[in-house]
Amino acid sequence: MKNQLMKIPPIIFLGFLLLQFFGCKESNLLKPQEGFIEVNGGKIWYEVFGSGNRAPIVVLHGGPGYPSYYLNPLKSLAKERSVILFDQLGCGRSDILTDTTLMNIESFVEQTHSLVEHLKLKEVIIYGHSWGTMLGAEYYKKYPKNIEALILGSPCIDLNMWQDDSDKLLAQLPDSVRVPLVNHKNNSIPDTTAFNKAIDYFYHEFYTRKTPFSKDIIKADSSWFAKESMVYEYMWGREEYSVNGKLNGYDGKEILKKIDVPVLYITGEYDTATPSTVKKYHEITPNSRLKIIEGAGHQTLNDKEETELKIIDSFLSELEK
């Protein structure tokens, strides 16, 4: 064999080696696919969009318990890399979760890790939105080695700060809106008609400002109401402005101080993850940057889809440099 190789012209032999190297690399690329993974408590749904040799983006949706449909616009980032969406246990296309012993951060971290392991991902970029930023930070804390960067959209990292901000936002509202919401928060029995009008006003003001809603928001809402998942109420509470579930009091700021990969923070001008609070997260996070999207509420991809995608695309380009 040695004598046979010696008869091959050097340029052809070099080409043979390069073909072997890049051919093997190409064969290991993540391919578009959809499926389910068995995790502790049931099966989770996932889908891989696009392919490429750059670190794939693993998307962590909010809630907890609000399905990933509303983050579908991120699929457009699947150009030279894959984008992976999945529904956490208890919502969307994944199995319903009723076991409260699995409704904790650790369980959702392990669900995420099961997906990474199943797809054999050696390096990833984590995109988290809302509750997904808390999950993303905790995932980084436990499994930092395979993370290339973090994108934290509308982050809720310190829930005492979140509650304070929510109280301030409620205080800004007209009495006809504020009073029914405060009564609801304090467990008083509100007038149903007044409360329904007030909650619609609140969510339009600070969450999904652009109407009509995108088809992805509509699909997420439909799935959310159809499954009536108990994950959200058990872990968070009854409404966004009142954190009284198991996550109450959570503070992950110490994790932010120790992150040693690039971090992009994104929030909306009218976001319940208020710009002033997200700026504080940015200030304690090494190698981080902050982008505030004008005119957007918490659902930044609904309100300003093109703007957010450009921000993320620019960040990803910086990573390649």
Q: How far is Cα 116 from Cα 13, in angstroms, rounded to an integer?
A: 37
Question: What is the token pair recorded at 3?
Answer: 């004598």
Is 271 annotated in the active site? yes
Q: How far is Cα 115 from Cα 135, in angstroms, rounded to an integer?
A: 14
159-171 and 275-284 are packed helices; what angle lies between their axes, rounded to 10 degrees? 160
Catalytic residue among 95, 158, 271, 303: 271
Catalytic residue among 166, 223, 298, 303: 298
Is 87 annotated in the active site? no
As beta bridge partners, residue 54 has 81
> Cβ(148)–Cβ(125) under 8 Å?
yes
> Cβ(288)–Cβ(258) under 8 Å?
no
Is 129 annotated in the active site? no
Among candidates 189, 187, 213, which has minimal Cα distance to 200? 213
Catalytic residue among 82, 94, 107, 130: 130
Among candidates 265, 266, 316, which has minimal Cα distance to 294? 266
Which are the catalytic amino acids? Answer: 130, 271, 298
